[in-house]
Homo-oligomer: A and B are copies of this chain.
Amino acid sequence: MDASGHAEQPGRTRLGPDELVRTATVARHHYLLGRSKVEIAEDLGISRFKVARMLDAAREAGLVRISIGQVDGLDLDASARLTDTFGLRHCAVVASGAGADPEVLAALGGTAARLLADVLAPGDVLGLPWSRAVLAMAQRLDRLPRVRVVQLTGALEQPGHDATAVDIVRSAARASGGPASIFHAPFALEDAEAAAALRADRTVATGLEQAGTVTHAAVGVGAWAAGMSTIHDVATAEERRRLAGLGVVGEIAGVPFDADGQPVRDPMTDRLITLSGEQLQGIGEVMALAYGAAKAGAVRAALRGGLVTSLVVDAALAARLEGDDGAAVTVPR
Would you call A115 an interface residue if the criterion is a C-beta within 8 Å of the partner chain's C-beta atoms? Answer: yes
Say yes or no: is A81 at the interface (Cβ < 8 Å to chain B): yes
Q: Are B32 and A72 in contact (CB under 8 A)?
A: no
Give the contacting residue for A16; candidates B17, B65, B114; CB below 8 A. Answer: B114
Contact assessment for A64 and B74 in the assembled complex, using a CB-CB cutoff below 8 Å: no
Is the beta-carbon distance between B69 and A17 smaller than 8 angstroms?
A: no
- Determine the chain B residues whose CB is within 8 A of the CB of A115 once the complex forms: 16-18
Residues of B within 8 A of A64 (CB): 66-69
Q: Contact at A80–B24, with CB atoms within 8 Å? A: yes
Tell whether, in the assembled complex, residue A16 and residue B66 are in contact, meaning their CB atoms are under 8 Å apart. Answer: no
Contact at B21–A76, with CB atoms within 8 Å? yes
Main SS of chain A's interface residues? helix
Q: Is there contact, CB below 8 Å, between B18 and A90?
A: yes
**Given A17-B72, A17-B114, A90-B18, A25 and B65 touching (CB < 8 A)?**
no
What 0/1 readout, one digit per residue, does chain A (96-119) give for beta carbons within 8 Å of chain B? 000000000000000100110111
A interface list, Cβ under 8 A from B = 16-21, 23-25, 27-29, 31-32, 61-69, 71-72, 74, 76-77, 79-81, 83-84, 90-92, 111, 114-115, 117-119
